[in-house]
Chain A
Amino acid sequence: MSYGYTGSILHLDLSSKKYWIEHPPETFYRTYWGGRALGLYYMLKEMKPKTDPLSPDNLLIFAPSVLTGTPAPAMPRYTVCAKSSLTGAEGEAEAGGWWGPELKKAGLDAIITKGASTTPVYLWINDGKVEIKAATHLWGKDTGTTQKIIKEELADDKVRIAQIGPAGENLVRFANIVNELKHFNGRNGLGAVMGSKKLKAIAVRGTKPIELYNKERVSQVTKEITKRVMENPLSRDLRELGTLAVVRPFYEAGCLPSYNWTTGYFKEGENLTAETYNKTILKKTIGCYACPIRCKRVVEINESDLQVDPSYGGPEYETITSLGSSCGISDLKYIAKANELCNKYTMDTISTGMAIAFAMQCFQEGLLTKEDTGGIELTFSNKEAMLKMVEKIAHRDGLGDLLAEGSYLAAQKIGKGSEKFIHQVKKQEIPMHDPRLKIGVGLQYALADYGADHMKAAHDTYFKDKDSYGIKEMKGLGILEPVSPTDIGQNKVTLFKILDTYWSLLDTLGVCDFGYVPRSVGTMEELLEIICSTTGWKTTWFEFMKVGERSINMARVFNCREGFTTKDDTLPEVFYQNFKGGPLEGKFAINKEDFEKALKLRYELMGWNPDSGIPTSAKLIELGLDWLIEEIG
């Protein structure tokens, strides 16, 4: 088998409790590499269209990749895929932490689960040995308690555990999956799929080394990147301020998503800045497997009326905004508490925050009453109410049961014009970067196969100037000229086709976007060197970009056969309006006609029919995906 891989994929049927190990040939790995592409391969091969996401016929796939677990920086990641319970489209989320590398060391390149157990179970994988263990005693328990019990049962503190909390068990449509309490396969409701299979956790222990073709060269490149991580302001900023670094610029510019996207102006924004966070609630920063950047936050609060357990990490930017300013809340302690609850119960903080913000707006507009909320005064800025709603959603209690369906379905049920208060793409709630100032981000929101996602491509800001970091470092991909962040012309569309392909590749390889250009200091040349030295394959960026393109097209085909069309590649209406309030008042509305032209051009650049958005047969043949031609008719 190729270096960097174990050569083994576990297939497990939770209905029959039978499993088998597949040993794919090298050509399979050379074509799909791992991560999202490997997951999509099995979803397309083994799942019928129109499968109910919460039925036993949905697959739930855990796929690290060739680079997962190498000692190089920012390579701890693995993908979880399934048909999403929130969107009904391709569902996918990547996570860092420690679980992915442990699975590789345990001797597996992926786990493909299907079926559903009749009683709760957890999977125990110990250096290649597979056991299905009873988990009835764990069902209903939060993630911290579950992790403790499993480690005690298995008598090994070094076991790594990926699991769901009560929200996943309760099939909250945006429930997620966590490993080691702090690292999330965050979006798309993959935790609900896991809950539907009554699969509580997957515990992994591995002691086998991951074989590298040229260990010394990988080690050398690692040292070079690590040295620069310590020296470079961009990566030091990630450690010092984390993703919270964006709060101050957004708040001062007046584009911090606030009050359910009704304004970008949040008067109390100073309370949410990274500097305030560091002074008040931050305990320490931590990293993922072998990563020197250490961008993750851990917070602790020990007050008489509110405590936050540092075991659950700490809120990042998206959480600060979705559960903070989007709900009109500026108290970091309450936001940290909400984050802790979401992490204990396993819920996507973006969707949770946006669902609550939606409900708050409905309440303020009189579309929901205290009778609907169970007596809660669900107004913007009511931080106690926000915390109560987090609990109610996780446990599907009262109004929480409705919001647990996601804001899109909740609005369908509430009616009365509440639909205009939701902000989603493909039923997934919009993340917290305003595309009116970064239109490429907007293109990606509209086009992302799995619903609006801010991590589908690098952001426009890295390419705005001839001296921009992205322009200087990514010329090898044909990125030669700067493009303004608010440009929506052909140069922007072309740029983002390249960036989408590049980040899809990173998601296929198990690489964190925070480790490499343009977000951080690792270069494209170093990435290539690491891959060649890991696998022994003589490969190039040409092959890599084809790998990225392959996964995008596979996801597109999956969605086409589920009935998604170009009508689903949209932006919420709010972005076609000017900013309201603050320094950006009256400016920066995206021109809808220009945006739709940009989408059409993007389809053509991808080799898709410009009217239907469906990949052409020629494009599929070019990418070795001719076996998908019959899927698109």
Chain B
Amino acid sequence: MKIMKISIVLEGYLKDKYSFSPIELNYSKAVTIHKILEEAKISSADIFFIKVEDSLVKEDYFVRKSCKIKLFPIIGGG
């Protein structure tokens, strides 16, 4: 069974809050972004945009192959 290597890259204050970047997780079958965040212990409340390679996706997106996931923090005004 081919193992999917998921690399999570954190941007902005997420790097500071979660104290690591990137992190790597391995999966043997398709998995949602939501599940990946849960396992990486990253709160959805902190995430505004999610990119899988060059595409913007939502948390219900199924990851089916090794890839890089970029997480961008919530954005306020200023």
Chains A and B come from one and the same complex: yes
Spell out A's residues near B (CB within 8 Å): 233-234, 236-237, 240-241, 243, 245-246, 248-250, 252-254, 295, 316-318, 433, 441, 454-455, 458-459, 461-462, 464-469, 471, 485, 513-514, 518-519, 583-584
Chain B, range 52-78, C-beta contacts under 8 Å to A: 54-56, 70, 72-78
- Structural contact, B56 and A584, CB atoms closer than 8 A: yes
Chain B residues within 8 Å of A519, by CB: 76-78
The yes or no answer to B32 lying at the interface (CB within 8 A) is no
Spell out B's residues near A (CB within 8 Å): 11-14, 16-17, 43-45, 48-49, 51, 54-56, 70, 72-78
Complex: A243 Cα to B78 Cα, angstroms: 6
Considering the complex, give the chain B residue whose CB is closest to the CB of A255: B49
Chain B residues within 8 Å of A583, by CB: 51, 54-56
Decide yes or no: A467 and B13 within 8 Å by CB, A252-B51, A514-B78 being known contacts.
Answer: no
**A–B complex contacts, Cβ < 8 Å, 30 sampled:** A233-B16, A243-B78, A245-B73, A246-B78, A248-B12, A249-B73, A250-B75, A252-B72, A253-B49, A253-B51, A433-B75, A433-B77, A441-B77, A454-B77, A454-B78, A458-B77, A459-B75, A459-B76, A459-B77, A462-B76, A464-B45, A467-B45, A471-B45, A485-B48, A513-B77, A514-B78, A518-B76, A519-B76, A583-B51, A583-B56
Contact pick for B13, options A237, A243, A455, A584, CB 8 Å: A237
Chain A residues within 8 Å of B49, by CB: 249, 252-253
Complex: A513 Cα to B13 Cα, angstroms: 18
Interface of B is mostly: mixed
Chain A residues within 8 Å of B45, by CB: 464-469, 471
Considering the complex, give the chain A residue whose CB is closest to the CB of B16: A233
Looking at the assembled complex, report how far the CB atom of A173 sits from the nearest CB atom of chain B, in whole angstroms: 24
Looking at the assembled complex, report how far the CB atom of A189 sits from the nearest CB atom of chain B, in whole angstroms: 21
- Structural contact, A249 and B72, CB atoms closer than 8 A: yes
- Pairs A-B, 9 closest by C-beta atoms: A237-B13, A243-B78, A249-B72, A461-B74, A465-B45, A467-B45, A233-B17, A233-B16, A468-B45
Given A248-B72, A462-B74, A465-B45, 11 additional A-B pairs, CB 8 A: A233-B13, A241-B13, A245-B12, A249-B49, A253-B51, A317-B78, A462-B76, A465-B44, A467-B43, A467-B44, A467-B45
Looking at the assembled complex, report how far the CB atom of A279 sits from the nearest CB atom of chain B, in whole angstroms: 16
Chain A residues within 8 Å of B48, by CB: 249, 461, 464, 485
Looking at the assembled complex, report how far the CB atom of B43 sits from the nearest CB atom of chain A, in whole angstroms: 5
Looking at the assembled complex, report how far the CB atom of A115 sits from the nearest CB atom of chain B, in whole angstroms: 36
Chain B residues within 8 Å of A471, by CB: 45
Chain B residues within 8 Å of A318, by CB: 78
Considering the complex, give the chain B residue whose CB is closest to the CB of A433: B77
Chain A residues within 8 Å of B72, by CB: 248-249, 252-253
Chain B residues within 8 Å of A254, by CB: 56
Considering the complex, give the chain A residue whose CB is closest to the CB of B75: A246
Considering the complex, give the chain B residue whose CB is closest to the CB of A472: B45
Contact pick for A249, options B12, B16, B17, B44, CB 8 Å: B12
Chain A residues within 8 Å of B76, by CB: 246, 458-459, 461-462, 518-519
Complex: A236 Cα to B73 Cα, angstroms: 14
Decide yes or no: A234 and B13 within 8 Å by CB, A467-B44, A583-B55 being known contacts.
Answer: yes
Complex: A464 Cα to B44 Cα, angstroms: 9
Complex: A578 Cα to B11 Cα, angstroms: 26
Chain B residues within 8 Å of A441, by CB: 77
Complex: A433 Cα to B43 Cα, angstroms: 24
Contact pick for A245, options B13, B55, B70, CB 8 Å: B13
Considering the complex, give the chain A residue whose CB is closest to the CB of B77: A454
Complex: A250 Cα to B44 Cα, angstroms: 18
Considering the complex, give the chain A residue whose CB is closest to the CB of B43: A467
Complex: A243 Cα to B12 Cα, angstroms: 11
Complex: A240 Cα to B16 Cα, angstroms: 11
Chain A residues within 8 Å of B54, by CB: 583
Looking at the assembled complex, report how far the CB atom of A295 sits from the nearest CB atom of chain B, in whole angstroms: 8
Complex: A485 Cα to B49 Cα, angstroms: 12
Complex: A559 Cα to B54 Cα, angstroms: 46
